[in-house]
Amino acid sequence: MSAGEAPFLGANTELTLAAGALFGATAGVVGTFALARRRSLLADVAAHASLPGVCMAFVAGEALGLGGRNPLVLLCGATLTALLATWSVPRLARLRGVGPDGAIAVSLSFFFGLGAVLLSDIQTHDSGLQGGIDHLLFGNAAATTRADLSTMAVIALACAALVTLFFKELAAVCFDEQHAAVLGIAVRPFDLLLLGLLVATVVAGMQMAGIVLVVAMIIAPAAAARAVRGSLTRVTVVAGTVGAIAAAAGVLLSRSMQSMPTGSAMTLVAAAIFILSLVVAPWRRQGVGA
């Protein structure tokens, strides 16, 4: 491409496409372990619980003079409340009469309800900088910047490095924690590592898919990949590939249909691939080996 030639898709679309593919690949890889460990609903809790963190970070950023829309401040706020919510789930589940399902429902409802209240409140702020914060509910991929792409790249590389480094330990803990303990693998640290990977993926995906839909991009590619017979290594690679394809296709679909939000397009493509996997691979019910 010559210096004066315009990009084929446009600079903004190319940024969104790159960030979306990185997010989709990361979501697929992390989702493989979340699905195997039965932590899918924790991803949903983390996603919904990030809303109050974003809102409180906006208020704190304005008060401290850092800027209410500072991406790093918003990222930190979302991470803190997402971690707090997922941390509270197992503790609530131990209470008599609550149980795991009740704990998830209580935590998700409380944090998302708090976020909705805070979101309504900051809309009345005089700064005028709150515009677009509500777009994080369903994503605002069109607003992707080079800084967002850089952040996504760092998170994607960090997640890929951690999964590669601790692949055997994560696999053992996800499929048979008692056997993992016999092998001398400490289950709790790797449970916390998986939780951290989930929260990082959720927070990174807020811009692309939105708080409400990000969990679909974590679970659908992984569920589709389980239709592939083979080792967990193969399933993980397929899940990452499916996630990247679904995200990239969603960006292009949204670009061609201006009325369709990018996050919704991504999740629809991922869901379509999952449904297709059910049709062409009925033997997927046999499961996946480690």
Tens-digit pLDDT profile for residues 140-156: 777 777 887 888 899 99
Structure tokens at 288: 């996946």
* Ordered structural domains, the chain, with CATH: 11-286 (1.10.3470.10)
% of residues, the chain, pLDDT over 70: 86
- The reported pLDDT for the residue numbered 38 is 83
Q: 157-171, 180-194, 264-278: lowest mean pLDDT where?
A: 180-194
Helix residue spans in the chain (DSSP H): 11-36, 40-63, 71-93, 99-122, 146-165, 167-175, 177-182, 187-205, 214-225, 232-256, 262-280
Per-residue confidence at 191, pLDDT binned at 50, 70, 90? confident
- The reported pLDDT for the residue numbered 162 is 94
Residue keyed to tokens 């589709």: 224
Residue pLDDT, tens place only, 218-249: 999 998 988 776 788 889 999 999 999 999 99
- The reported pLDDT for the residue numbered 288 is 46
**Are the C-beta atoms of residues 186 and 194 closer than 8 Å to each other?**
no
Average pLDDT over residues 5-11: 54
Residues 258 and 144: their CA atoms lie apart, in Å, by 16
Structure tokens at 213: 């839909």
- The reported pLDDT for the residue numbered 243 is 94
Residue pLDDT, tens place only, 120-141: 877 766 655 555 566 677 777 7
Per-residue confidence at 25, pLDDT binned at 50, 70, 90? very high
Residues counted in the chain: 290
CA distances for 49 relative to 78, 86, 199, 206, angstroms: 8, 8, 10, 12
Give 176's contacts (C-beta < 8 A, 6+ positions apart).
none
pTM (whole model) above 0.85:
no
